[in-house]
Structure 1
């Protein structure tokens, strides 16, 4: 169901930039500092976490519907592209990759997956590179899985096949 950010319904899948794909469990009214506040209650099963986002702040918080098929196809095309690794210090690149992952933008996340992917014949990744790669791949796989209505592992296989074809 594709709705504007102010109009999510219970049981809709949504993407929150810092946490990825979640599901709206309820829309509640809570009292905060004496004021009634309507909030989306979002459950993130993979993190065993619940997040409450005020309905009026949902758009500014970055809460969005799952990506459309056009965005998914652009992201898959991005995976097949050539890795673009800047020649800057790793700490700077790591910060940029982290920012892209937390942006919640599927295409930006695909760029991180593409840039950090290592084929079998390439040198081993450092621990922090592997952590960022796994984080980006997981975030992308969860959204693709929710869109395609498949499980996360099937989505990872789908993404990995695209990466291997590119290499």
Structure 2
């Protein structure tokens, strides 16, 4: 047996996979791949109708993590209230940074993207790519808020919207 410590994830746990957001572990299974026996987490991303198999010994290395604590969710929602910080860099550079934050799986970084790209009705129009990044970040944030708060996505969306609408313009 290898000395790698067993991951603390179990079936029915919700986890955050950096590139895909919140998923649920369906099971842990053994599979023989290229002649080697591997233990895999089978993770379902219901919304995306996708199932992912992740080697248990690589999960934490890949950045898979448990859901954020309610404290972190509160801090993320607080972040949304802040003033948008938009750098003067070219859009392509900023877009790349936003995408990295979204795919980091870090709830605080994702909240920063939502804050920075959120537009009130009276503000200038968003470009297509801005809108795409904003919606991706918003969806990741909302799904995790829903899973942590034990509410459905619509309820979490309402919670996030209230914070965004109520924030200082």
Specify if TM > 0.5.
yes
Which residue in the other structure is 2:7 paired with? 6
Deviation, structure 1 residue 5: 7.8
Deviation by residue 1:76-114 (Cα, 9 ceiling, x = unmatched): 111001100000100100000000000000000000000
Matches of 1:146 and 1:9, distance apart in 2: 16
Look up the match of 2:63. 62
Deviates more, 1:147-156 or 1:135-144: 147-156
Mapped pair 1:82 → 2:86: no
Note the C-alpha offset of 1:124: 1.0
CA distance in 2, matches of 1:139, 1:101: 8
Residues 107-126 of structure 1: pairs in structure 2 closer than 5 A: 107-126=108-127
The match for 1:16 is 17
User: Which TM-score applies when normalising by structure 2?
Assistant: 0.94
* 1:25, distance to aligned residue in structure 2 (A): 0.5
Instruction: Note if contact 2:6-2:57 (Cα within 8 Å) is conserved in structure 1.
Output: no
**Which ranges of structure 2 fall in alignment gaps of 5 or more residues?**
none
Corresponding residue for residue 147 of structure 2? 146
What SS does the corresponding residue of 1:28 show, helix, strand or coil? strand
Q: SS in structure 2 opposite 1:71?
A: helix
Partner of 2:41: 40
RMSD, aligned α-carbons: 1.2
Q: What's the TM-score once normalised by structure 1's chain length? A: 0.95
1:158 aligns with 2:154: no
User: Does 1:131 pair with 2:132?
Assistant: yes
Distance 1:89 1:5, change over 3 A: farther
Change (3 A) 1:5 1:12: farther
Runs of 4+ aligned structure 1 residues displaced above 3 Å come to none
Give the aligned length.
164
Return the offset for 1:156.
1.2
